Amino acid sequence: MTHKRLIDLDVKKKKVIVRVDFNVPLQEGRVRDDTRIRAALPTLEYLLREQGSLIVLSHLGRPKGKINDDLRLDPVAQRLSDLLGVEVLKSDQVWGPEVKKMVENLKPGQVCMPENTRFDPGEEENSPELAREWASLADVFVSDAFGTLHRAHASNAGLARYLPSAAGLLVEKELEALGSLRAENVDRPFAAILGGAKVSDKLGVIEALLPRVDLMVLGGGMANTFLAAEGRDMGDSLVEESQIDKARELLKKARESKTEIILPTDLVISPKIDASDEKSISEDAITPGWKAVDIGQKSIDAFREKLQAAGTIFWNGPLGVFEVDDFARGTIEIARALSEFSAWTVIGGGDSVAAVEAAGVADKMGHICTGGGAALKYLEGKELPGLKALEVEE
């Protein structure tokens, strides 16, 4: 099975409903970071060149099926209008008479945006009724919200059931980049850098990548559990006690498959995980009352030395408490190091993207994913409901 691509879909002078992922940060009523909006521009501009009339759907935040005035899409519509150079008509309704009238009056080359899809509880329930309501507005559907493909929602998997559908250009770009990591001819050595708070959040991708990579670098809170599995006293650090046996099992599998796992040797420690003047370096047991909050200089140097020979690098997750400036150094330093290497580097969403942007090196990465959760599921080999819904028989 394969999915239909945008170039295979007849969109000429059609009403096109486009699912995008404009879940962007807002500040004082304005878009603070428009990266995800810019990522969707190639698809939207292609459709406008084809004289399509565009109905753009997106969610914003987690309103949990209720109207939240702080999560309305008006600032997003304004920013999209600025970037496209086309007025984006905005409705305060997710669906209903006002939306229908707005769409009926759309002319070729015009764009409109209904309200936040997640204001309606039927969105996350993948309600057929809601999907049919949206489908009634358009002739065709384009799915370009890569970051939601691992969700079965009414605005992606649901809509694809009722209209001729295709993947947008952003989705194609994401699948091509991530597909290169799953290919047999991946440029080696192949290294994965995995961070974040919990082992349990990354178990699937660790198990999927372990037999495929040559080197796996582990950092962040999840590394604490592996260090505890090796017998290190982690003080009051975040350790998932229920995952220690699993961590031991994964370390054993790595040795058997000759995959090198690199863990931090020195750790920045502090009694608090928020900003603190009180911090130290630990290379042995961590004192009770103190917790690991970042990797130390020896670990930064070791990670850099191991990674510089890689041909391909995938990175998902920070290597410390990145959201606190005092504890972001390890993550930032590794981001800068990657920019100096010749490897094909794929950044897997979330805080890893924030890190390369904060380090000022985003433009030096091979590919930056717009959806960390979807990227991990794809690399695990898991089914993405939003992508499966686009499949057609060959």
| C-alpha–C-alpha distance, residues 184 and 17, integer Å | 36
Rg (CA), the chain: 23
CB 329 within 8 A of CB 320: yes
Q: Which of 198, 304, 306, 336 is catalytic?
A: 198
Distance, CA of 23 to CA of 35 (rounded, Å)? 10
* In contact, 76 and 34? CB cutoff 8 Å: no
Contact assessment for residue 229 and residue 263, using Cβ atoms and an 8 Å cutoff: no
Residues across the chain: 394
Q: Please answer whether residues 92 and 71 qualify as being in contact, where contact means their C-beta atoms are separated by less than 8 angstroms.
A: no
Work out the end-to-end distance of the chain between its first and last CA atoms, rounded to an integer number of angstroms. 6
Determine the pLDDT at residue 351: 82
Q: Structural domains in the chain?
A: 2-169 (3.40.50.1260), 177-380 (3.40.50.1260)
State yes or no: is 350 an active-site residue: yes
Helical spans, DSSP H, in 308-364: 329-340, 351-358
Catalytic pick among 36, 118, 151, 202: 36
pLDDT digit of tens for each residue in the chain (394 aa)? 688 899 999 999 999 999 999 999 999 999 998 999 999 999 999 999 999 999 999 999 999 999 999 999 999 999 999 999 999 999 999 999 999 999 999 999 999 999 999 999 999 999 999 999 999 999 999 999 999 999 999 999 999 999 999 999 999 999 999 999 999 999 999 999 999 989 898 999 999 999 999 999 999 999 999 999 999 999 999 999 999 999 999 999 999 988 999 999 999 999 998 877 788 999 999 999 999 999 999 999 999 999 999 999 999 999 999 989 999 999 999 999 999 999 999 999 778 888 999 899 999 999 999 998 999 999 999 999 999 999 986 5
Q: What are phi and psi of 305, to 5 degrees?
A: -65, -40
Q: What is the pLDDT of residue 1?
A: 61
Calpha distance 52→298 (Å, rounded): 56
386 tagged catalytic: no
> Two tokens at 365?
């990465």
Residue 106, number of CB atoms within 10 A of its CB: 18
Residue in 97, 138, 91, 98 with CA at minimum distance from that of residue 117: 91
Q: What is the pLDDT of residue 142?
A: 98
Pairing of strands 88-90, 111-113: parallel
**3 state SS of 68:** coil
Q: Which residue has the tokens 């009634």?
A: 136
Annotated active-site residue in 168, 219, 348, 373: 373
What pTM was computed for the model?
A: 0.92
Active-site choice (350, 371, 372, 386): 350
**Residues 329, 358 contacting (CB under 8 angstroms):** no
In the chain, helix, strand, coil percent, each to 5? 40, 15, 40
What is the predicted pLDDT for the residue at 394? 59
- Identity (one letter) of the amino acid at 138? A
The position carrying tokens 């040559």 is: 214
pLDDT at residue 274, rounded to an integer: 82
Position 242, amino acid: S
Distance CA 16, CA 309 (A): 46
Q: Is 198 a catalytic residue?
A: yes
In the annotation, is 188 catalytic?
Answer: no
